[in-house]
Amino acid sequence: DGKILVGGNFQKFNGKNFKNLVRLFPDGNLDSTFNTSNGIQGFVNKIKPLSNGKVFIVGNFTQINSKQFNRVARLNDNGSADTTFNPALFTSYPSISGANLDVYDIIILEDNKIIIGGKFSKYNNISRNGIVRINSDGSIDNNFLIGTGIHFTNGGIKALSIQEDGKILAGGLFDKYNNFQQSGIIRINNQTTSTGISTIMSSSKLNIYPNPTTGKVYIQSDKNNEIESIVIRNSIGQEIYTNKHITENSNEIELVGKSGIYYVEIISGNQKITKKLIKK
């Protein structure tokens, strides 16, 4: 419709009380039908309009119209808080829900999940350093494996972008990702549970040893759970081993690469399990 959303750190627009977020007509006049009432308590770093008229905002704010929303929120077309996105519903600590420090950027994925980046160390009081993927209701998506996340002193992730292949580019002020040296920019796999994989294989039916390992790894399953594929990824999501044509229940793999944390994904029928593997 040509309207313009403006966010930042301000208290008034054209002499009227509008805190940190306004919507304008194409000619620059204020659209008073978009009204956050008591305003955004804290500044807005990024605005992400949605096709349905709603709007995501991120920043360092803690309230919208006197309701608590810590640094990430979704607004309705009229500027009111969309309470169907509510991180506080998914934690035992609603007063410290959402991100605990500034969020600088946000991207929306094709499946309507959300990735935010910033200088936070927790989301919903769960450790998530610098980046987290969340569901459309505000809860954490635990299928996004980032290990220890971003390491930074006073910076974090400043910008996010999604490639055509779905991988995520993150840039900012940091020196490590999941304890590996990675300065300023990184590409991350947007790992999502594959369509049709609905149940999780019991860990008792699967044996990965030795763990920790110095290189050689054995992966075994019981006779009722034939392994169909094995994928091993390093801590930044890169595939370092793939075998999707397995006919044996016992598999020997030589784990190449440097010491660190790896993730082993095994699929058997409509079941999947992901286990952490450490290489000394």
What is the reported pLDDT for 86? 95
CA distance 168 to 247: 34
CA distance 273 to 145: 13
CA distance 182 to 80: 40
DSSP state of 111: T
Per-residue pLDDT tens, the chain, 280 aa: give them.
899 999 999 999 999 889 999 999 999 999 999 988 788 999 999 999 999 999 999 999 999 988 899 999 999 999 999 999 999 999 888 889 999 999 999 999 988 999 999 999 999 999 999 999 999 999 999 888 888 889 998 899 999 999 988 889 999 999 988 877 888 999 888 864 433 333 334 455 678 899 899 999 998 887 667 788 898 988 777 889 999 877 777 889 999 888 888 888 888 765 677 788 899 8
* 47 token code pair: 């605005």
User: Is residue 228 left, alpha or beta, with left meaning phi > 0 and alpha meaning psi from -120 to 50?
Assistant: alpha
Could you tell me the end-to-end alpha-carbon distance of the chain, in angstroms, rounded to an integer?
57
What is the reported pLDDT for 178? 81
CA dihedral over 228, 213, 121, 151, signed as positive or negative: negative
Phi, psi torsion values for 89, nearest 5 degrees? -75, -10
* 226 token code pair: 């034939």
CA distance 79 to 39: 9
Domain 199-279: CATH superfamily, name plus number: Macroglobulin (MG2) domain (2.60.40.1930)
CB atoms within 10 A of CB 198: 9
* CA angle 101–107–108, rounded 5-degree value: 125
Instruction: Look up tokens 């590996």; give the residue.
Output: 180
- For the chain, the structural domain boundaries read 4-188, 199-279
The closest of 30, 36, 33 to 61, measured between CA atoms, is: 36
CA distance 273 to 228: 12
Q: How many CA atoms lie within 13 A of 9 on its CB side?
A: 6
What is the reported pLDDT for 42? 96
Asked if 30 and 51 count as a contact pair (C-beta separation under 8 A), the reply is no
Q: Considering the entire predicted model, what is its pTM?
A: 0.69
